[in-house]
Homo-oligomer: A and B are copies of this chain.
């Protein structure tokens, strides 16, 4: 009997199933330093204990996306090893910051299954939670993937399609306990723009670009203990290219968005996202954003902006062609909520 994990196939999932994912991970200053080496991340709240302290937090947390990657990485062997496509995200919320010393693990509940009409694969929806060493949920999100069947003759399960919110309602966002932007230092943060300076519909070109190297995306992806073959093994795809983990593109684009959104300090919600086209080493990734919505939060000096973040190898503000499909140069279309000083 083979001892290696071949991963779950479509017929192995059933609604209600809870999967405890392997390999808990303790975060240290090392993960934070590496995040800064891998991405041009400059958010002051996550860079400086002193800035975080002045904002009411006990210390600088790790980047919200680093927390996301750690939680996500653990799900790969159980959820997406045999995935054909990563179809979407919804209802993502960060519920509390993650600090050096915290240990994260992940659990996923299967909340939907739908076999494809071709009988060869199906869509699986999971709600994943990241938990810390006190069993508190630090973040959660829904993801759905298309997964191959192992046995094409396995009977199709009853279709269950979960009802998902098109966006996390602003009143459901959780502001980190104690967060207070009322004495926010805009000089140290890097830009003067407040919540009130951003108008719905406004578009921002983040100007900078980064040309990605193989070594970098592999370091990043391994750091999150995401070990999907396709990111590491140049012999796996017929074209000899290693596909870059979609989360690497998310973090790169988010870091690039500092230039224009330096004060979008905290990610509080993930409304949706599409990895529109694959990204490969040698691509020069750029980013642009669009303000989709604004909301107050009740926390002192803290507002929320709903933002579209687009990663592209092409021109800013181009997104879809006349056929309504993503342009080939668009890598990522992400919809999230950020917390911003008012």
The residues of A with any CB-CB pair to B shorter than 8 Å are: 2-5, 20, 22-26, 28-34, 36-40, 42-44, 47-51, 60, 77, 100-101, 103, 105, 133, 187-191, 193, 197, 204-211, 213-216, 218-220, 222-223, 225, 227, 229, 232-236, 242, 259-262, 284
Contacts and interface: CB of A to CB of B under 8 A. Distances in A.
A235 B211 contact: yes
7 contacts: A3-B197, A30-B33, A36-B225, A38-B219, A40-B225, A48-B103, A50-B133
A191 B218 CA distance: 24
A211 B233 contact: yes
Contacts of A50: 24, 26, 103, 105, 133
B232 A210 contact: yes
Contacts of A37: 34, 219-220, 222-223
Given A23-B48, A28-B30, A40-B225, 5 more contacts: A23-B42, A28-B29, A29-B31, A34-B37, A215-B216
User: What is the oligomeric copy number?
Assistant: 3
Contact of A44 (B24, B38, B190, B222): B24
A259 B24 contact: no
B22 A28 contact: no
Contacts of A191: 3, 5, 22
A149 to B, nearest CB: 20
A131 to B, nearest CB: 10
Q: Interface SS of chain A: helix, strand, loop or mixed?
A: mixed
Contacts of A229: 208-209
Instruction: Specify which of A40, A43, A193, A197 lies most central, judged by the most chain B CB atoms within 10 Å of its CB.
Output: A40
A334 B60 CA distance: 36
A293 to B, nearest CB: 17
A23 to B, nearest CB: 5
B216 A218 contact: yes
A60 B22 contact: no
Contact of A223 (B36, B190, B223): B36
A51 B103 CA distance: 9
Contact of A20 (B20, B187, B213, B220): B187
Contacts of A36: 222-223, 225
Given A22-B189, A23-B188, A24-B48, A222 B260 contact: no
Contacts of A218: 210, 213, 216
Contacts of A261: 3
Contact of A47 (B3, B24, B133): B24
A324 to B, nearest CB: 29
Please give me the 4 A-B residue pairs with the lowest Cβ-Cβ distance, nearest first.
A28-B29, A30-B33, A22-B190, A24-B48
A5 B190 CA distance: 9
Nearest to A209: B233
Nearest to A226: B40
B235 A284 contact: yes
Given A3-B191, A5-B259, A227 B25 contact: no
B242 A211 contact: yes
